[in-house]
Structure 1
Amino acid sequence: MAGLAALLLLWSMVIAMPMVHGIDESPQAVEKWFKELGRRKEKVTKIHFYLHDTVSGKNITSFNVTAIKPNQFGQINVADDPLTTGPELNSTILGRAQGIYLGAGLHEIDLLIAFNFVFTTRKYNGSTLSVLARDPILQKYREMPIVGGSGVFRLARGIATSQIYTFDTTSLNAVLEYHVIVIHY
């Protein structure tokens, strides 16, 4: 009987999952959404958050999977960085930046980033925005394209601008400030 109760609980969680995320992502629901696309209006959404990239110390969120190079060329990091409403790590969590960044500049410090901003709270819970971009980290502001999204942000396109909020030259830990503007349906 306990096994049946556990199975029913698991089944009810699977059935309720689309409601938790606020949008049904089943193939049938996505197809229906596309059929109604002509009647939908584009929306513009602005999101402001801070990304905490911790490469050393306690609670590392970005791990170097290659040997460190003097100019970072060829260095690859895998990240699962928290996104927060404020620059303090203990401010409200909005989600995670999950992906990779790598040293792509041979003669300058220039990163290639491939991130999914995965939102885990509030009205964007379960939705993502995808960034694939050049990130010349020594420039004050960097502009990066939003190349897609899921959930609330289906068919998203837009721009993310970032700047370094804080950077510790000893630990190499950084907090980046992001302003995102996306068009979606």
Structure 2
Amino acid sequence: MATWSKAPLIIAAIFLLSSAGVAHGRSRRFVSSHDEPCMEMRLYLHDILYDYSNSTSNSTSAAATKPTALATAVPSSGGTFFGEVVVFNDPMTEGKALPPSLEETEVRAQGLYLYNSKEAFNAWFAFSIVFNSTARRGTLNLMGADIIAEKTRDISVVGGTGDFFMARGVATLRTDTFEGFTYFRLQMDIKLYECYV
């Protein structure tokens, strides 16, 4: 029988724990609280769906799949886009106004949402918020169910990179405005409860 030495495992664990506090060459301290967030921010996501009637230069999202046959087969639904997947690269702003340039914003949401209900307009999100400014750099990764009929809904912040290294928390979504099926703006109140600062 082979005997395993515990020394390499202990050294590896010490290395991992000591390097976890260093991101992008600077030392960081882990902050965790179940009561008070270690970081809060409010951002607005602007989604402009390309539907063949609007300009391609003015669109920030597009359907990657068509709805399934179930989307229109359920009599009570009237069509819920069930099974449609939308890929997006949306600008995000601190205020409600659309940015002057949809392509050159410092904060972007990149990912997908899919319509996942036969009976109502409900979606499931998986995306990253990408920060690229002098104030903040890195990503926040979010995912979760968006029950669109609810006034507010929470999705999980499941991780991050850069200034948001290993972040965890909750983003509360609120539909701020919408125009048919081609434009919506979501207010996102993000509270991080695990941060490296």
Partner of 2:141: 130
2:173 is equivalent to residue 162 of structure 1 = yes
Compared with structure 1, are the counterparts of its residues 176 and 36 closer, same or farther at alpha carbon in structure 2 (3 Å cutoff)?
closer
Partner of 1:75: 84
Once the two structures are superposed, the pairs formed by residues 55-70 of structure 1 within 5 Å of their partners are 55-56=49-50, 57-58=54-55, 59-68=58-67, 69=71, 70=79
Once the two structures are superposed, the pairs formed by residues 112-151 of structure 1 within 5 Å of their partners are 112-125=124-137, 127-151=138-162
Partner of 2:97: 88
Whichever structure has more strand as a proportion of its residues is 2
Partner of 1:106: 118
Count of residues in Structure 1 that have an aligned counterpart in Structure 2: 154
TM-score, normalisation: structure 1 = 0.75
Q: How far apart, in 1, do the equivalents of 2:22 and 2:89 lie?
A: 35
Deviation digits for residues 98-132 of structure 1 (CA, Å, limit 9, x no counterpart): 0010011222221111010111224212x100111
2:186 is equivalent to residue 176 of structure 1 = yes
The structure having more radius of gyration, on CA atoms, is 2
114-123 or 156-165, which deviates more: 114-123
Whichever structure has more helix as a proportion of its residues is 1
2:39 is equivalent to residue 45 of structure 1 = yes
TM-score, normalisation: structure 2 = 0.70
Give ranges in structure 2 of 5+ residues lacking alignment: 1-15, 33-37, 72-78
Q: Would you say the 8 A contact 2:64–2:85 is kept in 1?
A: yes
